[in-house]
Structures are given as structure tokens and as C-alpha cells.
Amino acid sequence: MDNFLLFFEEMPTWQKLVWLIFILGGFWILEGYYALVKFNYNKWEHAKTNLLLLGFVLLINLLFGILTAGVFIWMNKSNFGLLHLIDLPIWAELILSIMILDLVAQYFVHYLLHKVKWMWRLHIVHHSDLQVDTTTGTRHHPFDFILRECFALIAVLITGMPVSYYLIYRLLSVFFTYFTHANIKLPLRLDKALSYIFVTPNVHKFHHHYKLPWTDSNYGNMLSIWDRLFGTFVYEKTEEIRYGLDILEGKESNRIGYQLRIPFNRSIISKN
């Protein structure tokens, strides 16, 4: 187990980037064969906006990586955090850490992004995509992503987890982000069965429906148990889903400048 954790702790940046490209590219290809929705769009033109936003995300990751390293150094010296107060096997610590990260840095902050007015204005960018596919997972306003990174650090401080647990979570998060946004059609029985524990493509597609109440449901990224526990879980017919938001003009969906200005555009009337 120690060697397994050491592998992730010492994983170089280029391998993490290869993982991202492999997952994103893999689901991009699968969409061409097992599409849930047959979009009439230029796939590359659509991806351009989302990949430009990914560039901002990668830059923020680099900057937060420095801050995160400092946090882990301090925790190692101070023995701060929940895991230093309880005695669990390593595998149980790892699972607990991933669950807390998923709850705080994914479900909870995502819930706030929908419920707090100024945070929602940042999150509108993610929901403005009219053709939800795997690249939509990269579609975050830079300030939206910064908030997510801050909550991830809060979860790290709560647990006092070692850096290897955190890096495993980040790699899993990349997989689920592109998996759940991917425009792929799983067999319905398989999707439903998986959805009792994990967030599946169908589950997350309801969250991207253009109207309430579906927009305010299915906040999870990896685990669906949080939505089930807090009463925000929805599973209906995917044929009824229409992507985008009813407060935006669809023609601006792929204009990067417009998307970056959305949080400050007072002509957009927020639901809140």
C-alpha cells in the first residue's frame, strides 16, 4: 500500500497531463459512436471555447499547486486534521478522505454556486453550453474554478490527509468530470445501477436542463450518495432534457469573450 501511495505522491506533472488528455480524448472519441444526443454542430468549433477555458483552469491549478504544497508541508509539521485524531487503516483513511473531498469540494461548493447570487453569476458560464459533451467538463469561469480550489483546500485542512490521498482524488475527479459530461449513452439498466452510488452521464445531464427544478439537482461529481442524502437527486427521462439556460441567448454560447464577461453583465437576469 505504501508503494501504491508513493507512486501518486511522486507522479510527475507530465503524467497527470497525459491522464487528462487520455480521459478527455477517450470520451471525445466514444461520443462519436455512442451519442446520447445527436447534435448538429461543429464539434471542434464548440470545443474551442471550452478548451480555452481549460487553459485558465490549468494555470489556476499551477498557482494553487504552490499554495497546496505549502498547506501540506504545514500539516505534516503540525499534525493538524481529523485523520490525526483517529486510528484507521490506510485504505479506510483514503476512502474517507475522498468522500470528504467529494462532499466539500464538489457537492457543497456546487450547491452554493447555485444558491448564492454572486456565485451563481460565475457558474452561469458552465450552464450556458447548448451542446453538453465531454469538453463541457472544462467549461468553468476562472473565478468559479478558484472557488472550487479554495473549498478543496478546506477539505484538506479538515482531514489533514497526506498529499497522496489528495492526488488520487484529483485524478479520480478528472475521470468523473469528463465521464459525467460526455455525450454518451450507457445501457439504461447499467446507468441506473451505477447511479445508486456514482454520478453517471444520465444523472448529470438532468443538472444541465435549461429550467428549474432540474437545474438545482444532482450537484455531485463522483458520488451520488450526497444528492440522495440531501434530497437533491433526480432521475427522469433523458429525452426531456434541453441544455442551456432560459436567461441567456444561445447564439453567444461559443463566444469566449462574452462568456468571461457573463458574471459582470447586468443585462443577464439571475434566477436568484
Domain ranges of the chain: 2-37+45-264
pLDDT score, position 251: 67
Q: With a threshold of 0.85, does the pTM exceed it? A: yes
Q: How far is residue 221 from each of residues 5, 86, 124, measured CA to CA in Å?
A: 23, 27, 17
Nearest in space to 50 (alpha carbons), one of 272, 256, 270: 256
Whole-number average pLDDT of the chain: 91
* pLDDT tens-digit series, residues 32-58: 999 999 988 888 988 999 999 999 999
CA angle 271, 139, 143 (to 5 degrees): 70
246 has a pLDDT exceeding 80? no
Q: How many whole angstroms from its chain centre is CA 75? A: 26
249 has a pLDDT exceeding 70? no
Mean pLDDT of 106-113: 97
Mean pLDDT of 75-83: 87
Mean pLDDT of 216-236: 96
Q: Is 159 helix (H, G, I), strand (E, B) or coil?
A: helix
Q: What's phi and psi for 223, nearest 5 deg?
A: -100, 130
- Report the C-alpha gap between 72 and 74 in whole angstroms: 5
Q: How confident is the model at residue 61 (pLDDT cuts 50, 70, 90)?
A: confident
Q: Is 138 helix (H, G, I), strand (E, B) or coil?
A: helix
Mean pLDDT of 177-182: 97
